Amino acid sequence: MSNTIKLYHHPLSGHSHRVELILSLLGLPTELVFVDMLNGAHKHPDFLNMNSFGQVPVIDDGGVVLSDSNAILVYLTTKYGKGRFLPSDAADRARVQRWLSVAAGQMNNGPATARQITLRGANHDAEDAIARSHALLKVMEHDLDGQMYLVGDQPTIADVAGYTYIAHAPEGNVSLVDYLNVRSWLARIEALPGFVPMQRTLIGLQTA
């Protein structure tokens, strides 16, 4: 068993939640360290020494300090997963990487951006972000047809990377009503032992 892993996070950050979720799914002892981004704690020299980009999340695993949520997912599952959440088969691992790229690209530019507009008034084109979100959701709906998770029938870090911003897409005025496969996939992730939710915010379509 590992020492307690420090996770520097913000409770409304989907990127932070990805890491909190995999830590919990793996049953790893974790200390959550709140980063007060509203007051600029992520730009403080002490934090910049851990991540020069000034972004959450960051982990400290016994002196191994890492940033970037997807990189952290790979690290934690490689070190502690014992074969879970990161397949050993080369093709399946490449499929996982595909979805990590989607999480950093289309997902970030779609539902994550749409949510930032309603949550923080981010200066982006809401109509474009919502359109990008639906384009992504259509692909996910197709790819999830006949399979339980994004890469076959076992959960992987592809699902962990994808879950949060899709689950919270309604906060950015992106409806999930037309995507039955996607909603079923979200429910399967939420049923995994160790699942922890991210705090919901009553914005966008998420009004109750």
208 has pLDDT over 60: no
Give whole-number Cα distances, 136 to 84, 94, 141, 142, 143, in Å: 26, 19, 9, 10, 11
CATH T-level fold of 90-190: Glutathione S-transferase Yfyf (Class Pi); Chain A, domain 2 (1.20.1050)
pTM for the whole structure:
0.93
Catalogue the E-assigned strands of the chain: 5-9, 30-34, 58-61, 64-67
Flag whether pLDDT at 125 surpasses 60.
yes
Asked if the domains 5-80 and 90-190 are classified in one and the same CATH topology, the answer is: no
What secondary structure does DSSP assign to 114-160, as a single string? HHHHHHH--SS-HHHHHHHHHHHHHHHHHHTTT-SBTTBTS-BHHHH
CATH number of the structural domain 5-80? 3.40.30.10
Please write the tens of the pLDDT for every residue from 58-115. 999 999 999 999 999 999 999 999 999 999 999 999 999 999 999 999 999 999 999 9
Q: Where are the domains of the chain?
A: 5-80, 90-190
